Structures are given as C-alpha cells and as structure tokens.
Copies of this chain bind each other. A is one copy, B any other.
C-alpha cells in the first residue's frame, strides 16, 4: 500500500493514535486465493463442481471461487462452513458428529446467522492461534468437501 492512501482528500482527521497494541496473526490474501483455487481444482479433478471460501479470524470473507456448474447454494455453504470453522476453531465435521450424538447441543446451529454445522469446513491456525477458516461446498458428501479443503491447506500451507 502506498503511503498516499492516508493523504486522500476525504480523509480529514486522524482521530486517535495508539501504539504498542497487541497484534494477531492473519491469513494473507495471496494464501487465501491459492487455497480457494486449489480446493476447486482438487474437487473438479474428483468430478465435483464446488465453491470454496477462505475467511479471516473474524469470519470476514477473504477469497472465494465457484465452479461454473456449482449450484447457487454453494455460495452460502462454502462461506458458512469457513465462518464456522474459523469462529469455533474446529472442523465442522467434528461439530456435526457432536450434535448428532447429543440433542442438547442442537442449538449450536442457531448461535449466529453464518453458522453452518456440516462437514467441509476446516480451521486455519498459526501454532495454537486460530486465524481463519476454509470451507468447501457442492460435492455429494461432506467428507468429499473436507478432503478438498484439506488438500488445499496441504498444498498452500505445507502440512500440519
């Protein structure tokens, strides 16, 4: 980013300056773009038309790609799986299994409009810190979606 951004006419006031704030790790856009491309490619090679999304630690969309043949619902499913994995810090498949085994926690589905408890979302971490999530939707089975997500992580981030 050029420095000139901060000198543009509309930006009239610097309202506060804080130094020495705590800092948190993030996924870079370049990593995110490569991951969604890798996930769509991997699933396509398996014969599935999918969407893939990467969100940051706050669940805000960073990168997204959808195969031309993937249904419009995958725009929602990929993003929500990514949000859920990022926000809870767990694979969405684990959460789905936990709910299936315990009806008292079915309410997990209703915590937030972007939660989707369905296999195919994986958290992204820097060490122990959760820093984002990836979600894939459109394959005929969540385990297939999750495999493409994992393949993307492996390819871009190099192992776990």
Contacts and interface: CB of A to CB of B under 8 A. Distances in A.
Contact of A87 (B2, B22, B71, B90): B71
Given A14-B125, A56-B58, A122-B16, A23 B24 contact: yes
Interface string A1-17: 11111101111111111
Contacts of A109: 106-107, 110
Kindly report how many copies of this chain are found in the complex they form together. Answer: 8
Nearest to A120: B107
Given A24-B68, A105-B118, A58 B58 contact: yes
What does DSSP make chain A's interface, helix, strand, loop or mixed? Answer: mixed
Contacts of A28: 21-22, 68
Interface of A: 1-6, 8-19, 21-29, 31-33, 37, 40, 44, 46-49, 56-69, 71-77, 80, 83-84, 86-100, 103-119, 122-131, 137, 140-142, 150, 153, 157, 159-160
